[in-house]
Chain A
Amino acid sequence: MAYPSESTEQAALAAHAPVRAATAADTAAGTAARLVAAPADAAAASALLGEAARLRLSVLPRGNGTKIDWGAPPRSCDLIIDTAALSGIDHAAGDLVVRAGAGTPFAELRRVLADAGQRLSVDEVVPGSTVGGVVATGVSGPRRMQHGPVRDLVIGMTVLGHDGVAASSGGRVVKNVAGYDLAKVQAGALGTLGLIASVTFRLHPVPPALRVVRAESDDPGAVGAWAAALRRSQVMPTAVELDWPGGGPLSLRVLLEGTGQGVAERADAVAAVLDGAKTEDAVPADWARPPGGPDDTLLEFAVPLAEVLPTAARLHDAGAAAGASVAVKGSAGCGVLYAAVPAGTAPDAVQRLLLLLRDGMAAGSATVRRAHPDLHAAGLEVWGEVPGLALMRAVKSGCDPDHRLSPGRFAGGL
């Protein structure tokens, strides 16, 4: 079969959506795209995907591009599908559910819901994210301790398959066990199983009051003891966040949400557990943000609860040994930490640090969320060991038989 020329391709795609040649900005973890299309709605996106399938193009869905460098670099990227126009918010306030298009800015969704006294209980970890981007990366902030990661709040999803065919699972009610919950595998799949067109979430009322109780210490052991004491307590925090910037003390921030009287009493109970606690009535500005700067290598560690502080301490020590000041931040309450290794750290030093941490972990996982293309080029092991990979490969092949959707971005080269 003859390879279609670029202009023939572009013309065929343009029948469904405006298409342009990619620029230097249209890359993903160092992989440059050829074309960028911006369908006007889900139907157009569906047709576009169908066309891309006929043309055998590799496709990368992209929202606002804030996390397009996350994961491994795609092997190829013929076409970026920009989901910006797949937006819209259908809020059923009385039912505490909302359906939002993938391209809807996450901040806009939060604003609309807030106006109705409700919220999607997922923090915006990376500013500027779209709804689709949050779900496709599965990135969940501090409040996941109380409300679960973002995939737990998804109750329905419509996904455009590799051939553009739309398929829905779940529905518009929270309690629903009809059929497979395919949204679970889409959440966090980095666009390797389909293009998320719209997502339905369950919502929560905005609690009337909140407090943040904060304390600092230089001793990870002491902070670990605080975290353990909080687990034993019955104050039910919404979040327990660890923050350990490179250099400086560790801090633990406990978020309490509820009624005015309730949070006041609970804050006192938390303050009694922490040493030198200070109480504030707003979350700090850097709340939910990943540690470090935008060019740092961002790692994620998921560990059993009792291993959170030992893991943080090992990271800190390993960083020091590599001459890098590693910043650690994340949920001590559910055992998910992010670590930032400063940009410019030698690739082999980053790799050594990662392997050292992986070797020292009895349970859990250490993955690279985002790395500079140079690190990928140097062979950074993004995923580590992934149990169940054979099943995942089968799932991928079932959803995307030609491996054209964000190929290689996911674990095991999927």
Chain B
Amino acid sequence: MSQSDTLHALVPDLRAICGDDGVLTDTAQRRTYESDGITYHAELPGVVVLPTTPEQVAGVVRLCAEHGVPFVPRGSGTGLSAGALPRADGVLIVTSRMRRIIEIDIPNERAVVEPGVFNLDVTRAAAPHGYYYAPDPSSQQVCSVGGNIAENSGGAHCLKYGFTVNHVTGLQIVTPQGELVELGGKAADAPGYDLIGAFIGSEGTLGIATRITVRLLRSPQKVRTLLAAFDGMDAGGRAVSAVIGAGVLPAAIEMMDALAIEAAEAAVACRYPEGAGAVLIVELDGPAAEVDSQFEQVTRLCRDEGAFELRSADDPAERTTIWKGRKSAFAAVGRISPAYIVQDGVVPRTALGEVLGRIAALSAESGIRVANVFHAGDGNLHPLVLFDDAEPGAGDRAEAVSAAILDLCIEAGGSITGEHGVGVDKVCHMPDMFGPDDLAAMDRFRRAFDPQGIANPEKLLPTPRLCGERPGARKGVHPLVASGEAELF
């Protein structure tokens, strides 16, 4: 039987598991699932299923395992690395109908949710009790907690509060063999290997999370946000270093350059100070006494580094005004450019200035504009590479600039992705960051979960089919070692 015949033959069984309305075979309907948050990777899924219970997910995966059919998990479909890119020969398992908040347990400071629950809804459910769920990716209103598990999502506030992996104590997963396994629960430190820790961020290659227990945090007593405007990125970058160097750990430090400010202004009229070459948003939260004294300190440091205008926000409405420009920045760039690529790379914070300078040089050489919006506190750059898709060759030049920026990140000792994940989009960049032995170790780990290789295949780890062989490329020497960034002790 051909692959599509195999898939076709599964449909009655899939319907028996998920119900008639839980299996999509109509072409027009399936096509709406052809891509996630980045549309330039698209593939018509063989079949789409919309299970409503963990048992249904397990049933579908077991069926796939029995027939050697690949499956791809998908949550809200907002990912930016094509991690949920479907397979024509596979089943797309969509968790968007599994969206019950099962429990808000305040005495134990935990929430138990299904994978399709929107991230922000966890906080909404906890808020009346004075609690919140800390990971806050920019798409938090729509991205699913299950998707956050796959990507180990962070957010603007992960500088202080960490990533999804730091906030999950229990997972129920369906393994690639279709077994339901409970890992951890409401208590910390589940015995045995920390499989929860390794599962989070595995991009759907180790199975599907079907129930998730997360920590809830007590809302901070006080939150204050500072907007500081500088003439240029250098001064802004110096202010970031000064703040971190002074021992202050803000909840968030975000920076935008002039082009990003221009875009945000066009989209949401955020009214950032006129003439700013860079704006810095610093948010402090915690006990009132701490926040107030640190706020003074941060304000002083920004002024010392040349901030020409400082605005502070102490209530939610004022904070929203300051954050509006930053949060809209990605989509806003659409207002100043017909097309753009959102890049996601990380550099050590001390390399920020140099890397930004080199990005500017790249931009100048290529004639491709680059707007910079980034999480300055942890060196996570989001260069927006702008181009006009109507102009012949512009797309290729933009792609080249975008890839060159990743090279700069690796060269500086950073990472090819801080939060968007590898997926399909960056899978061929993995050998730039990891050596063959590193990748082999990762592949062995994957095989331990998925010996058949049916869970989200060809994502996360490079394959010769996708990326070609790289004979001799950095063989045996770790790229970080080669770059002089790391020496083996």
Residues on A lying within 8 angstroms of B by beta carbon are: 41-43, 86-88, 90, 92, 94-97, 99-102, 117, 138, 148-149, 151-152, 158-159, 161, 165-169, 171-182, 184-185, 187-189, 193, 197-198, 204-208, 228, 231-236, 258-259, 261-262, 264-266, 269, 300, 302-307, 334-336, 363-365, 367, 383-384, 386-392, 394-399, 410-412
Contacts and interface: CB of A to CB of B under 8 A. Distances in A.
Contacts of A92: 348, 350
A105 to B, nearest CB: 13
26 contacts: A94-B350, A151-B197, A166-B478, A172-B480, A173-B413, A175-B163, A175-B419, A177-B152, A178-B415, A179-B438, A180-B445, A181-B198, A181-B201, A184-B194, A185-B194, A232-B218, A236-B220, A258-B286, A262-B287, A302-B191, A303-B187, A305-B107, A336-B188, A387-B192, A389-B192, A391-B181
Nearest to A262: B290
Contacts of B152: 177, 181
A254 to B, nearest CB: 13
Given A173-B347, A262-B290, A410-B192, 7 more contacts: A94-B350, A148-B162, A177-B421, A182-B198, A304-B186, A364-B185, A389-B192
B433 A258 contact: no
B488 A158 contact: yes
B97 interface: no
B379 interface: yes
Contacts of B181: 387-388, 390-391
B375 interface: yes
B102 interface: no
B289 A266 contact: yes
B106 to A, nearest CB: 9
A95 B350 contact: yes
A39 B182 CA distance: 40
B294 interface: yes
A268 to B, nearest CB: 10
B193 A395 contact: yes
B72 to A, nearest CB: 18
B287 A266 contact: yes
A228 B107 contact: yes
B191 A365 contact: yes
The residue in A94, A262, A391 that gathers the most chain B C-beta atoms within 10 A of its C-beta is: A391
Interface in B173-222: 175, 179, 181-183, 185-195, 197-198, 200-202, 218-221
Contacts of A185: 193-195, 197-198, 445
A142 B348 CA distance: 29
Contacts, number: 304
A37 to B, nearest CB: 17
B158 to A, nearest CB: 7
Interface string B412-432: 011111111110001000100
The residue in B195, B197, B246 that gathers the most chain A C-beta atoms within 10 A of its C-beta is: B197
Contacts of A86: 489
Given A167-B440, A306-B107, A387-B190, A258 B287 contact: yes
Those 4 A-B pairs whose CB atoms lie nearest each other, nearest first:
A184-B197, A205-B247, A101-B489, A364-B187
Contacts of B350: 92, 94-95
Given A171-B480, A234-B218, A392-B193, A179 B442 contact: yes
B416 to A, nearest CB: 5
B375 A168 contact: no
Q: How many interface residues does chain B have, given as a range?
A: 35 or more
Secondary structure type dominating chain B contacts: loop
Given A168-B478, A305-B109, A151 B194 contact: yes
B488 A167 contact: no
Contacts of B107: 228, 305-306
A307 B438 CA distance: 41
B184 to A, nearest CB: 8
Contact of B448 (A95, A159, A389, A398): A398
A87 B75 CA distance: 44
Contact of A391 (B220, B426, B449): B449
B192 A386 contact: yes
A42 B34 CA distance: 47
Given A117-B247, A232-B218, A182 B445 contact: yes
B432 to A, nearest CB: 10
B195 A388 contact: yes
Contact of B378 (A175, A207, A264, A394): A175
A138 B193 CA distance: 10
Contacts of A94: 241, 245, 348-350
B331 interface: no
A49 to B, nearest CB: 13
B489 A88 contact: yes
Contact of B437 (A166, A302, A305, A389): A166
A265 B292 CA distance: 12
A229 to B, nearest CB: 12
B444 A398 contact: yes
B478 A304 contact: no
A113 to B, nearest CB: 13
A148 B290 contact: no
Contact of A175 (B158, B198, B430): B158
Given A43-B488, A169-B438, A388-B192, A397 B448 contact: yes
B441 interface: yes
B283 interface: no
B175 A391 contact: yes
A152 B215 CA distance: 14
Contacts of B487: 88, 90
Contacts of A386: 191-192
Interface in B331-390: 346-350, 375, 378-380
Contacts of B98: none
B486 to A, nearest CB: 7
A384 B414 CA distance: 41
Contacts of A307: 108, 187
Contact of B202 (A148, A180, A363): A180
Contacts of A335: 187-188
Given A234-B220, A336-B188, A391-B175, A172 B247 contact: no
A181 B197 contact: yes
B233 interface: no
Given A101-B489, A175-B378, A169 B442 contact: yes
